[in-house]
Structure formats: C-alpha cells, structure tokens
Chain A
Amino acid sequence: MTIATFMFYFFEVMAALSALALIFVRNVFYGALLLLICLLSLAGIYVLAFAEFVAVTQILIYAGGILVVIIFGIMLTTKISGKPLVVKHGNWLAGIFAGISMAALLMTFFSQESFSVSPIPPVSKYGAIEQIGIQLMTGFALPFEVAGVLLLITLAGAAVIASTIKSKKI
C-alpha cells in the first residue's frame, strides 16, 4: 500500500465520518466544525485527484470564507445567555427514508455503470493551473464575467437584506 493510497483512504474515511456525525450532532457550533473537517478532507481528496486548483479554492473559499460566515451567523442568532445553541430533531422517519432511498438509487447506478478512461489522452504543454487560467480567459470567458456580476449582486443584496437601518414604509 503506497502512501498516496493510504492518504486517500484516510481522507475518505474522515469525510464520511464527519458527514455521519453531522446528522447526529445537536450543537450548531459543533456542526459547523464537523463541516469544516469534511471540507478539508475533501480538499485533500481533490489534491489526490489531480485537481490542485480546486483544492486550494476549496480551502480558501469554503473553509476560510463560508465557514466563517456561518459561524458569524450562529453567533448572531444565539440569545446572549451563555448556553450553546441546541437543535431539536424532527421528521426522523422521513429523513432516514429519503436518505436511504437516495443512497440506494445512486449506488445502484454507480455499481451498474462502468466508467473507463478515454482512450487517447491529448498531450498539453502547459501545467494544470496554467491550463485553467487559459481556459478562464478563452473558452469560459462568458461564465467568468457572469460569475463576477453574480458576486456583485450578491454583495449588494446581502448587505441590503442584513442591514438594520429602518427603511421608509412603501
């Protein structure tokens, strides 16, 4: 067993275990930390799947950005009493049924299909990250611009929604 295979299984087990624990945990803050473990293990899996740029983006944006925003949200929606925010559970039957049926559906499909590597790998003289940069500026220029506009709209929209200044009644 090579070290890469061992690391692959390690990250896989970490991601699966933290996702499983996220179902049962009751404290919201612990839930956010478990999601952080899951996201970091997925970044490790991306590195082992030759997707270095996606892995770095995952760590920077998910683990560094979204998790911080979520933890801010947890702290802002907790009543200041010192006790942690504890979640009630409900709908166990429906949840378990939906989860198991979805997992069974996907796993049956994956076990029946056999995916194979495309026969002629095209050779490129650039590295992976250079290739992604070139693609962003050529083939994916329109989605790139649209993503920028979407981020701008989100920035303005989130600021407007979350601001506490009373607006005039329309």
Chain B
Amino acid sequence: MAPIDHFLYLSAFLFSAGIVVVIVKRNAIMVLLGIELMLNAANLNLVAFNILQPGLFTGHMFALFVIVVAVCEAAVGLAIVLRVYQHYQTSIPDEIQDLKE
C-alpha cells in the first residue's frame, strides 16, 4: 500500500489550489468551486488518517458528515447567487456593494 504521505501532500496541494481559486477568480460560482475543492482536500485528509487506525471508522464517518454539510453549503450558496444575479444582473462579487437598493 502506498504510504500516507502522498495523501497528505496531495491534500495540501488541493487546499492551496482552492485558496488561489477563491482569491483570484472574479465570479461567485468560481469561488464556490474553490470552496468545494478545499472541502475535498479536508475530506482526503480524514480518509487518509483513517488508514492509520484499521478497524475504526471515525474518519469515514466524519468525511460523510463533511459531504452532507458541503451539499447544504452548495445549495444555499447557489440560491443566494441566483437571487443576487436577478437583482444586480451580475455575478461578480466586487461589483455588489449595496445591502439594499
């Protein structure tokens, strides 16, 4: 079996890529994609550390709950993006500066 270090380095890389996507992109949906990438990096770490404890499934359970919360976050986030787009006719976060019309 491959050593656990590969999982950890891959998850560190994915997390950093997610941070760069969140900061660099000027579109709300791309920012959501970056957040999904970071959540997946955390999930990969949870699954990887579960290899070190054979017979226990705590890491898997935690990863499942992280997936559930990610679903909620994506649904509510996209609903907010749609609503903001209907109101401001744009999905660029920098151009949305008012809380109320």
Q: A residues near B, CB below 8 A?
A: 4-5, 8, 12, 15-16, 19-20, 22-23, 28, 31-32, 35, 38-39, 42, 45-46, 48-51, 53-54, 57-58, 61-62, 65-66, 69-70, 72-74, 76-77, 85, 87-92, 94-96, 98-100, 102-103, 106-107, 110, 115-118, 121-124, 128, 131-132, 135-136, 140, 143, 147, 150-151, 154-155, 157-159, 161-162, 164
Q: What separation, in Å, do the CA atoms of A31 and B32 have in the docked complex?
A: 11
Closest beta carbon of chain A to B86's beta carbon, Å: 7
Q: Which residues of A contact B94 (CB under 8 A)?
A: 90
Contact B82 A162 (CB under 8 A): yes
Q: Which residues of B contact A38 (CB under 8 A)?
A: 14, 37, 40
Within 8 A of A (CB), among B31-66: 32-34, 36-37, 40, 43-44, 47-57, 59-61, 63-65
Given A12-B10, A106-B16, A118-B54, 17 other A-B contacts at CB below 8 A? A19-B13, A20-B17, A31-B30, A38-B37, A49-B48, A54-B63, A66-B36, A66-B70, A77-B85, A90-B24, A95-B23, A110-B8, A115-B52, A116-B52, A150-B72, A151-B68, A164-B86
Q: Which residues of B contact A98 (CB under 8 A)?
A: 19-20, 23
Contact of B33 among A4, A22, A91, A100 (CB under 8 A): A22
Q: B residues near A, CB below 8 A?
A: 1-2, 4-10, 12-21, 23-27, 29-30, 32-34, 36-37, 40, 43-44, 47-57, 59-61, 63-65, 67-72, 74-76, 78-83, 85-86, 91-92, 94
Total inter-chain residue pairs, C-beta < 8 Å: 215
Q: What separation, in Å, do the CA atoms of A131 and B80 have in the docked complex?
A: 38
Q: What separation, in Å, do the CA atoms of A91 and B67 have in the docked complex?
A: 30
Q: Which residues of A contact B81 (CB under 8 A)?
A: 73, 77
Closest beta carbon of chain A to B5's beta carbon, Å: 7
Contact of A161 among B16, B33, B79 (CB under 8 A): B79
Q: What separation, in Å, do the CA atoms of A70 and B31 have in the docked complex?
A: 11
Q: What separation, in Å, do the CA atoms of A66 and B66 have in the docked complex?
A: 13
Contact A28 B61 (CB under 8 A): no
Q: Which residues of B contact A72 (CB under 8 A)?
A: 78
Contact of A77 among B2, B56, B82 (CB under 8 A): B82
Closest beta carbon of chain A to B96's beta carbon, Å: 13
Q: Which residues of B contact A121 (CB under 8 A)?
A: 54-55
Q: Which residues of A contact B63 (CB under 8 A)?
A: 51, 54
